[in-house]
Amino acid sequence: MENSLLSVRHLQKFFPVRKGVFRKVVAQVKAVDDVSFDIAPSETLGLVGESGCGKTTVGRSLLRLIEPTSGSVTFDGQDVLEAGGAQLRAMRRNMQIIFQDPYASLNPRMSVADIIGEGLKVHGIIRKRKEMEERVEQLLEKVKLDPVYINRYPHEFSGGQRQRIGIARALSLDPKFIVCDEAVSALDVSIQAQIINLLVGLREELGLAFLFVAHDLSVVEHISHRVAVMYLGKIVELAPTRELFTNPKHPYTQSLLSAVPRANPGAARNRTVLKGDVPSPIAPPPGCPFHTRCPVVMPHCKTEVPPLKKSGPGHTYTCHLDG
């Protein structure tokens, strides 16, 4: 991608499995294995897959909340994985995260003013309390919360309101990029829609780019410009959103899509229920990692790694089948 804000290449994150008195490393959990993608300024990339597929690890690795094992991450022309000290702190101002559980991610003993203003203090942007409170009031208005709530505590808010506080906190340092880590997954469907609409509005207003991590394709459909589907630590398909929803190529994407309820029941697809569980990322299956559950598996899928194929502009997938 020519004008990429974030560029991820061959990202890997392996977690060692230790055993015995000497905590010897006996295996590796391959949580993320050779993941590459780009995100343009003001673009939203949806990242979707079942729980344990590695999508959350990808999001956290980009911000170095988890240190990746190998690969490269370039943000705004700078090498994120090589950055240290002041350079990393400056980068983190521009790269923020919104977590899944807004209650667990907000300190219950801190007021809304302190939660949202914390970053401003830590980065030395605002030192006077009065100025900080004025800025927090502006941020509350941006996320459509009444500024009169500024001195309240997290337990006084609903789940949706708490997530708005989490969003205000992420916005406090004027970032260019935000990882939304299952940011709406814990909320009721009607509240999910409100938060997604809020994020879309903020993206338009502030020119934000998002990596929107979710386990449900229907959640990412309305916010994402493009969608990447992950299975067992790898991206198996990546395409512009409309293209992915109307012309999915990978059997895994097809099965996920078959579970998405459509507004027009006449257009409903036959539901494909996958057999078995996701294999262990400690010992992924050889050949195509999806072969143990694929409804159209062929003999050579069990031994040969599928190639990366192109299907139209910006549409790639890994499968032995031809589209």
Q: Which residues bind ligand SF4 (CB under 6 A)?
A: 250-251, 288, 290-291, 294, 296-298, 301, 306, 319-321
Q: Which is nearer to ligand SF4, 112 or 319 (CB)?
A: 319
Enter the tokens of residue 7. Answer: 């560029």
CA-nearest of 13, 72, 76 to 39 is: 76
Residue 309 exposure: Cα atoms within 13 Å on the Cβ side: 14
Q: How far is the CB of 279 from ligand SF4 (least distance, A)?
A: 12
Element (H, E) at 18: strand 6-19
Phi, psi dihedral angles at 23 (to 5 degrees):
50, 45
Whole-number minimum distance, CB 289 to ligand SF4, in Å? 8
* Two structure tokens written together for 119: 């970053």
> 178 vs 257, which CB is nearer to ligand SF4?
257
Instruction: Give min distance, CB of 23 to ligand SF4, in A.
Output: 36
Smallest gap from Cβ 69 to ligand SF4, in A, equals 25
DSSP class of 8? E
Q: Which residues lie across from 70 on neighbouring strands?
A: 12
Of 92 and 250, which has the nearer Cβ to ligand SF4?
250
Nearer to ligand SF4, 150 or 288 (CB): 288
In the bound state with ligand SF4, the residue whose beta carbon lies nearer, of 35 and 301, is 301
Smallest distance from the beta carbon of 288 to ligand SF4, in angstroms? 3
Would you state the structure tokens that stand for residue 78, as one six-digit string? 């700078």
Report d(CA 171, CA 94) in Å as an integer: 9
